[in-house]
Structure 1
Amino acid sequence: MEYRKLGESDLELSVITFGSWAAGGWMWGGTERSDAVDAIKASYDLGVTSIDTAPVYGQGLSEEIVGEAIKGLPRDKVQILTKYGMRWDLEKGSLAFKSKNNDGQDIDIYKYAGKESIIEECESSLRRLGTDYIDLYQIHWPDVTTPIEESMEAVQRLIEQGKVRYAGVCNYDAEQMKTAESAIRLASNQVPYSMVNRGIEEVVVPYCLANKKAVLAYSPLERGLLTGKIKPGHHFQEGDHRAQHKYFSEDNVKRVNVFLDKLRPMALDKGASLGQLVLRWTIEKPGITVALVGARNAEQAVQNAKAVDVKLSAEELSFISRELLAIGI
């Protein structure tokens, strides 16, 4: 495994970081808890020491699964990344969207990052995770109803109390990061990034490079689309959000598969899967610190971790860029 520093902090993350949204089952058609625990443990055995989660993933279930998986591991050898600011149990802030929990019950998800709410959320996360500190605490989405400075001051208090080591943000633009830094020193920004979703290259990545902030890329496999396993006509399980997502429209799935067919010979030559090739490409991109990758069982976790063994030359990276341009991505 390879490790990289998180901005100017002394926190090092594994370049393949375990993303545990799918582990919580919510919006992914359910989960098998024991499989999710095994996936995290299998990742750790291969050097994936960093785990990203959030309270809203499974409405606490994902954090509980992470806590179960790391129980008994040396705490200083594991980096726990979690979030705040998405409430399903409090009607405050702005309504993000309506959803259903893992039991099929209707729930409303709110974006809210008021000071006292953050303090409360942190205590709940610590309890579910079975730890007394969080390595990286990140606001999940911007909250337009609360001043950014108020949210960051709450996290600063948690840092002073030793409950949080470093502060990060998710889904922030450069201006929002600047505002946050008037109240706290940020270590990172977690944003969506993949071969087919590269919007952050325009402003966010240059800003983070110039200001020495880490970029945590989530959905690098574009929710499984870039593994090559999603074909036109694919049927998703009940409750799987991908069925309605724009990237999984019939036309887009066809277009992406044309591109992936161009990469298959390269992957085959390296003895790698398409997913592994895509992950290596992701962590080779300038400004990208780590790739957050989900897995629902040990087999998937092992395949993700082994992406670090893939090597890409400058010529191969250029070839991939040309093929992306050729299909208009």
Structure 2
Amino acid sequence: MKYHKLGNSHLNVSNIGLGCMGMSAFYGNYAEKDSINTLHYAIDQGVNFLDTADMYGPLTNEQLIAKALDKKRDDVILATKFGIVYDNNAANTAQQRVVNGHPDYVIKSCEGSLKRLNTDVIDLYYLHRIDDSVPIEETIGAMARLVEQGKVRYIGISEALSETIQRAHQTYPLTAVQMEYSLWTRDAEQKILDTCQELDIGFVAYSPLGRGFLSGKINTPDDFDKDDYRRTNPRFIGENFFKNIALVNNLKALALQKGCSPAQLALAWVLTSPYHITPIPGSRRITNLQENIAALNICLSPEEYQQLSDFFPLNSAVGARYSDGYSPETMK
């Protein structure tokens, strides 16, 4: 495993991280034992950058990671997020999640995460979504106080526009910006990646495999569990699903020529980017994690990188990334 400094920080993270969301939420059936085994295997292989959030579960994903780490806490760089709150009184599912960036909630959320993670300090603490009702300077100011108190080492924000990133960074230096980024989600190439590079902020790519779609292992909507949230995601519904399959077929053909899996080729494209990007693909099973780690050994020529980029131009995926009731700032 190779490592690099994340942004302007002293965090030395593995070139590929591990997104832990699917171990507790959103993607259907999961087994705690399998998740813990996968976490242990990741650490043994040198994957030291773990990503979670208080809303995964909700709350249970942080507890799962604490259980898995036990005496391994010092072996990892732990990132968690706050700011998305469940409103169980909402009229429908799309309205159940609200954003809260108020300073008092920042403090409350951090205390809760520290307890659930069974740790004295969070290595990287993200604002999960931008709260339009609160100036970003106020939210970041509260996060900065957590750093001063020694409860958080570094801070970041997720799914923020370039202007918001700049305002936040002026308030207190950001270490990372996290955003969805993959072959079929290239929105960050519109100013955001440039802004991160100019300000020496690390860019962390979640869903670098398009929520599993770019793995080539999903062929029909029936491949999803009944409670898998992708059944309600615009890109996986009706005609959109089958139009997007055509994009993946191109990826499959190139992967066959390259002698690797579609997932490995998709990850290699992210890792080959001229921008320094840290992907955090999610894995619940060791076999998938092994496949993802092996992508680090795949070298793409400039011609291959460009060919993939041409197959997946900006906005090539059919359907929005999220439903209208849950659109982040970067989609508004």
Contact persistence 2:206–2:280 (CA under 8 A): yes
Give the direction of change, closer, same or farther, for the CA distance of 1:326–1:133 in structure 2 (3 Å limit).
Answer: closer
Instruction: Deviation per CA, 1:80-105: give whole Å up to 9, x if none.
Output: 000111123799xxx8x9549xxxxx
- Give the equivalent residue in structure 1 for 2:79: 81
- Give the equivalent residue in structure 2 for 1:312: 300
Give the match's secondary structure for 1:71: helix
- Give the equivalent residue in structure 2 for 1:155: 143
Instruction: Deviation per CA, 1:154-193: give whole Å up to 9, x if none.
Output: 1111101111110100011111112212321111110111
Give the match's secondary structure for 1:210: helix
Give the match's secondary structure for 2:281: strand
- Give the equivalent residue in structure 2 for 1:19: 19
- Verify: 1:139 aligned to 2:127, yes or no: yes
| Amino acid corresponding to residue 66 of structure 1 in structure 2 | I
Stretch of structure 1 that moved more, 132-141 or 205-214 = 205-214
Shift in Å at residue 288 of structure 1?
4.1
User: Whole-Å Cα distance in 1 between the matches of residues 67 and 236 of structure 2?
Assistant: 33
Contact persistence 1:24–1:58 (CA under 8 A): yes
- Give the equivalent residue in structure 2 for 1:301: 289
Structure 2: stretches of 5+ with no match in the other structure: 318-332
Shift in Å at residue 327 of structure 1?
11
User: Whole-Å Cα distance in 2 between the matches of residues 249 and 11 of structure 1?
Assistant: 39
Give the match's secondary structure for 1:189: strand
Shift in Å at residue 328 of structure 1?
4.8
Stretch of structure 1 that moved more, 261-270 or 153-162 = 261-270
Contact persistence 1:282–1:288 (CA under 8 A): no
TM-score when normalising by structure 2: 0.88
- Give the equivalent residue in structure 2 for 1:272: 260
User: Whole-Å Cα distance in 2 between the matches of residues 123 and 190 of structure 1?
Assistant: 22
Contact persistence 2:184–2:316 (CA under 8 A): no
User: Whole-Å Cα distance in 1 between the matches of residues 252 and 211 of structure 2?
Assistant: 19
- Give the equivalent residue in structure 2 for 1:125: 113
Aligned residues: 317
Instruction: Please state which structure has a larger fraction of its residues in strand.
Output: 1
| Amino acid corresponding to residue 114 of structure 1 in structure 2 | H
RMSD value, Cα? 2.4
- Give the equivalent residue in structure 1 for 2:100: 112
Shift in Å at residue 314 of structure 1?
1.3
- Verify: 1:168 aligned to 2:156, yes or no: yes
Stretch of structure 1 that moved more, 6-15 or 50-59 = 6-15
- Give the equivalent residue in structure 1 for 2:63: 64
Shift in Å at residue 295 of structure 1?
1.0
User: Whole-Å Cα distance in 2 between the matches of residues 120 and 233 of structure 1?
Assistant: 39
- Give the equivalent residue in structure 2 for 1:249: 237
| Amino acid corresponding to residue 60 of structure 1 in structure 2 | L
> Where in structure 2 are the equivalents of 1:179-258 lying within 5 Å?
179-258=167-246
TM-score when normalising by structure 1: 0.89
